Amino acid sequence: MSRRYFGTDGVRGCVGKAPITPDFCMRLGYAAGKTLVARENLRPGEHPAVIIGKDTRISGYMLESALEAGFSAAGVDVYLAGPLPTPAIAYMTRALRLQVGVVISASHNPFEDNGIKFFSAAGTKLPDAVELEIEARLDEPMGCEASASLGKAKRIDDARGRYVEFCKSTFPNEFDLRSMKIALDCAHGAAYMVAPKVFHELGADLVVVGAEPNGMNINDKVGATAPSSIRDAVLASGADLGISLDGDGDRIVMVDAEGAIYDGDKLLYVIAKASCLSGQPVSGVVGTLMSNLGFEHALARLGIPFARAKVGDRYVLEMLHERGWKLGGENSGHIICLDWHTTGDGIIAGLQVLAALGRQGVSLKEMCEDLVFYPQKLINVRVQPGFNWTGSPVIEAAVRAAEADLGDTGRVLLRPSGTEPLLRVMVEGRHEEQVLRLAQSLAEVVKAAAA
């Protein structure tokens, strides 16, 4: 059964356009609520319960109210956490023993977009089967429980403090950050009230940017998708390093004192390498189809197995569980450390990198000296929703020609975005000029075929 609403990271789109409308979100809450009721072994009169968190987008107020109404109509109690990072809701779902966590966020997208994503009681993304079950219920008429069976709503006042303490608990007791000056970019997003507390309470001298949300400036020239913001802050303040989160706090990019940018592949490498050097072998690392070949080769030199999942942190997590491994992520900055959390968490990933550097007594630059990346070019080509690029002989021929040009020194990857009407064209190889030429040529072929 094909998906109609759920992408790789929940339901997402432009606010005011289907499906991100208040009426749809109310029906989504009702459908999700009824699915929960059907799947739970509840005692008579017992209500299932969910927690709803959100980022700082102005549309979050509207969508929160719509979801609350839908869940209540389905007989599900609702706990409202307010602005909190996505991984905080995963944690609170487990900590409060709730059935589901709900996050209202479009992650790294601009404020005009928003989305709804769900976590299971275990703090993981919902399985595809459950999402499809929710979609099937969306086709049914929306009803309403009798008044005595309606769900209640309650605000949670201590959620931020509980999450701050949880994050701090993942940092080694024998270390602190008192000797470090850290620049921190919160993307005017969900982490703006918690991330500064975590790093400050661990002793860091902080320079904070991107922590003044107004409902419309989330991810606007700040955050992990605009790393020049944190680089400028590091260089201007003389910080030892910089940490940049995205709008919902589940991605991280870091910058060293010289302004060099470290993406998810490099940060995963730092964590994995430090673990090996400390005598704690890494069973394996999961990356994605977008992970750099240089990263894979560097892990091989350390004797660490590597596997590629489909793009999307949910698929990384699925493969980690399948293989019994603990560490994985994406070059975009989603890093999953299953020793500490059930999902990707930018703050916790940052703490694990800092702990790795502390154990080895080195800088980010020194830790990555033996990591040589292949040139990689990614071009996003806007296409019509549902564009069947796999059925285009012209695109297929262009891909074959590019692969023949690269030989065994590189690779070509075309994949649709899970959140936007884009086809991502990626070429990777040893020679930058060749990579750029082939990527641009392929992108032009796709544009012409999609026109």
- Strand 113-119 versus strand 100-104 pairing type: antiparallel
Question: Could you tell me the two tokens for 19?
Answer: 């499906």
Q: Please count the other Cβ atoms lying within 10 Å of the Cβ belonging to residue 316.
A: 27
Strands, E, within 32-112: which ranges? 49-54, 77-83, 100-104
168 Cβ partners below 8 Å, 6+ apart? 198, 201, 202
Q: Please count the other Cβ atoms lying within 10 Å of the Cβ belonging to residue 370.
A: 11
The b-or-e profile of 68-88 (16+ CB within 10 A means b, else e) is bbbbbbbbbbbbbbbbbbbbb
Does residue 105 have an active-site annotation?
A: no
Please tell me whether residue 65 adopts helix, strand or coil conformation.
Answer: helix
Catalytic residue selected from 59, 72, 105, 107: 107
The CA dihedral of 198, 201, 202, 204, to the nearest 10 degrees, is: 90
Lay out the sheet containing 113-119: strands in order across: 6-7, 10-14, 113-119, 100-104, 49-54, 77-83, 153-155
Please tell me whether residue 263 adopts helix, strand or coil conformation.
Answer: coil
In whole angstroms, give the CA distance from residue 270 to residue 264.
10
Strands, E, within 23-152: which ranges? 49-54, 77-83, 100-104, 113-119
Greatest Cα-to-Cα distance within the chain, rounded to the nearest angstrom: 69
CB 295 within 8 Å of CB 265: yes
Long-range contacts of 373-376 (CB under 8 A, 24+ apart): 373/265, 373/292, 373/294, 373/295, 374/292, 374/293, 374/294, 374/410, 374/428, 374/429, 374/430, 375/428, 375/429, 375/430, 375/431, 375/432, 375/435, 375/436, 376/292, 376/426, 376/427, 376/428, 376/435
Lay out the sheet containing 181-185: strands in order across: 205-209, 181-185, 241-245, 252-256, 261-262
- Strand 376-382 versus strand 205-209 pairing type: unpaired
- Strand 252-256 versus strand 241-245 pairing type: antiparallel
Residues acting as catalytic residues = 107
